[in-house]
Amino acid sequence: MFQGLYFKPISLWICVLVFILSGFRTISSTCPGVCFCPSITRNVYCPRKNLPYVPNGIPLDTIQLNLNDNNFLNPTISRTNFSRFTDLEQLYLSGCGIEFIEVDTFIDLKKLKWLDISKNRLKSVSDYTFRDLTLEHLFLNDNPGVHISKHAFLGLNTMGLYFQNCALGDLTLEILRPLNGTLKSLWLDGNKFETFNQNWLYLFKTLSHLRIGDNPLHCNCEVAWLFKFFQSTPRVFEGVPAPSCRSPPRLRGKQFSNVTDDDFRCQLPVFKNVDIVFESDKGKLTCLASGDPVPTLYWIKPDGSMEKFYPKMADLSKDTEGVMYTSDPRPTKKSMYQCIASNPAGNVTFSLNVVWPNDDRMQNEPPSKDPIKESEEYPLKVEKEGKIEGQKSEPNDKYISNDVNVTKSSVNMADSREQAKEIRFTLVDIIGAVVGTFLLTLLACVVVFHIFSRNQSRLLYKEQNGLTHSDIKRGPPSRYELDEAENTLKMLDKINRDGTV
């Protein structure tokens, strides 16, 4: 290098010029011993020096300060650490062991454009941390487990926001809303996003660069919009690995560039178990259903009131369980309990319509030992009905559009078949849901018959012994499970899949 300069006079002159200028700079400002401060540039480089804090002697007119890969003693950075460098345009604090950033830490750096806090151990970014800053790039990459507070970005303007490898799964759109309009570049790759709901589209549409690859996306009808967006605006995803699917199993590992519209499907909810326990003064009704996406459950009481049960967020492959307690399981005349399982593919309704026996008649009849016979003798009636409702949705045609009613012994397979052709659900899905609903209904009815018969026996027995109605207490809780129904359902499902139906 120096030998080269000897033989090139122009280079030599430049060298001399730089030397002179650097002399001027040394006179006008200082440079910390451990740092490198090239003249003219007003840059200060102090990376990988194991510095426990921002070193003294950094020129106040520094434009670019690089403190990457040091080892700050105090894991919290605050306003006092940087406020004197009012000319700073670029600040690099990557790999310094920072855990917290106090609010307004950078507020005095009015010219700051480039802020890099990657590869730290950030625990959280609290509300208003970056308010009043107008940045070009804010790097928060490689801070696994960082929690972003709801208003963390309120008051911030930035064109680029980078969240690569932060183990984020719960970053809500709400948090990014303050950046709507200014944000052009967003990195969310290498995180834990399993889905993006369609509201993200308004933000994604405004971006010129987006990375969401390497997330465990669950590719069902709910993210079909994202696939469409990917196809219609390839330039936004240019130059980076395409988003890919982690589940369902048939799409595992497939990139968006290698799947089709038809792969993004949802599945109607299917009831897996219904469990009914009546006690003297309360009843417990349990409903278990699965589907893709995991359904939301509603229990509807005879009086029309409703309880709602959301799926647990943790695992997309789980079922939803709805447990309702009802204080008066002995309603006046007719009681209809309904469990509705609902997801974007549609609603499946499980109805128990119970007609209670007429008290006058009961008193006149002798008790019977045989519950089945007894239930035939008394006007206890259970009507049951399974109902599947579909829904047409805006973003795509993956949702079914059907209305299949299943009553008692008339499961209309031909009907279901027609529906299945119309929509993009497989025949097995529909038949599975229909047959499952029907079977479970039937079994639940048997259970209800049984319970009521038992209760009735007690009632009559005690009445014969001279007790009044108010004295009557029902027996200990009884528990009936429909495991058998589940097994039968599985068998039927298997038969269906084997194509023998």
Ligand X SMILES: *[C@@H]1O[C@H](CO)[C@@H](O)[C@H](O)[C@H]1NC(C)=O
Minimal distance, residue 325 CB to ligand X, in Å: 20
| Beta strands 90-92 and 217-218, pairing class | unpaired
CA-CA distance, 375 to 36, in Å (whole number)? 93
Three-state SS at 111: coil
DSSP state of 191: S
Asked whether position 197 contacts ligand X by CB under 6 A, the answer is no
Which phi and psi (to 5°) does residue 126 adopt? -85, 170
Nearer to ligand X, 176 or 276 (CB): 176
CB closer to ligand X, 85 vs 298 = 298
Residues between 213 and 232 with contacts to ligand X, criterion CB under 6 A: none
Least distance (Å) between residue 246 CB and ligand X:
15
CA 489 to CA 483: how far, in whole Å?
10
d(CA 276, CA 337): 11
Find the binding residues for ligand X in span 249-268 (CB under 6 A).
255, 257-258
Say if residues 186 and 166 touch (Cβ distance below 8 Å).
Answer: no
The nearer residue to ligand X, 61 or 403, going by C-beta atoms, is 403
Q: For residues 333-392, which are near ligand X according to CB under 6 A? A: 340, 342, 346-347, 389, 391
Provide the 8-state DSSP code for 33. T
Q: How far is the CB of 79 from ligand X (least distance, A)?
A: 9
Q: What is the nearest approach in angstroms of ligand X to the Cβ of residue 291? A: 12
The answer to the question of residue 206 lying near ligand X (CB under 6 A) is yes
- Tokens representing 491 are 């068998």
- Within residues 383-422, the interface with ligand X by CB under 6 A covers 389, 391, 403-405
Helix, strand or coil for residue 306?
Answer: strand
Residue closer to ligand X by CB (options 138, 341) is: 341
- Give least dist CB 272 to ligand X, A: 19
From residue 262 to residue 301, the character string flagging contacts with ligand X as x (rule: CB under 6 A) and all else as - is ------------------------------------x---
**Out of 27, 73, 314, 414, which residue is the one contacting ligand X (CB under 6 A)?**
73
Q: Which member of 53, 114, 128, 480 binds ligand X (CB under 6 A)?
A: 53
Nearest distance from C-beta of residue 385 to ligand X, angstroms = 8
| Peptide bond connecting 477 to the previous residue in cis, omega within 30 degrees of 0 | no
Residue 326 CB, nearest approach to ligand X (Å):
18
Token pair of 117 as six digits: 């806090």
Question: Applying CB under 6 A, which of residues 45, 72, 193, 378 lies at the interface with ligand X?
Answer: 72
| Residues in a beta bridge with 300 | 306, 338
Q: Which residues contact 402 (CB under 8 A, 6 or more apart)?
A: 346, 388, 389, 390, 419, 422, 423, 430
292 burial level (CB within 10 Å; 0-12, 13-18, 19+): buried
**CA–CA separation, 24 and 28 (whole Å):** 6
CA pseudo-torsion sign 233, 236, 242, 248: negative
Q: Which of 31, 54, 109, 176 binds ligand X (CB under 6 A)?
A: 54
Considering beta carbons, is residue 52 or 379 the nearer one to ligand X?
52
- Of 68-76, 120-128, 270-278, 356-364, the window that binds ligand X (rule: CB under 6 A) is 68-76
53 vs 480 by CB, closer to ligand X:
53
- Rounded Cα–Cα distance for residues 498 and 487 (Å): 17
Where does this chain touch ligand X (CB under 6 A) — which range of 74-82, 112-120, 220-228, 460-468?
A: 74-82
Q: Whose Cβ is closer to ligand X: residue 354's or residue 459's?
A: 354
The region of 73-81, 153-161, 164-172, 482-490 touching ligand X under the rule CB under 6 A is 73-81
For residue 286, what are the β-bridge partners? 275, 323
Burial class of 469 by CB neighbour count within 10 A (0 to 12, 13 to 18, 19+): exposed
Q: What is the 3-state secondary structure (H, E, C) of 474-487?
A: CCCCCCECCHHHHH
Tokens of 166: 């932060």
Q: Give the residue with the Cβ less far from ligand X, 83 or 426.
A: 83
**Shortest CB 1 distance to ligand X, Å:** 35
Per CB under 6 A, residues contacting ligand X are: 53-54, 72-74, 77-78, 80-81, 180-181, 202, 206, 255, 257-258, 298, 340, 342, 346-347, 389, 391, 403-405
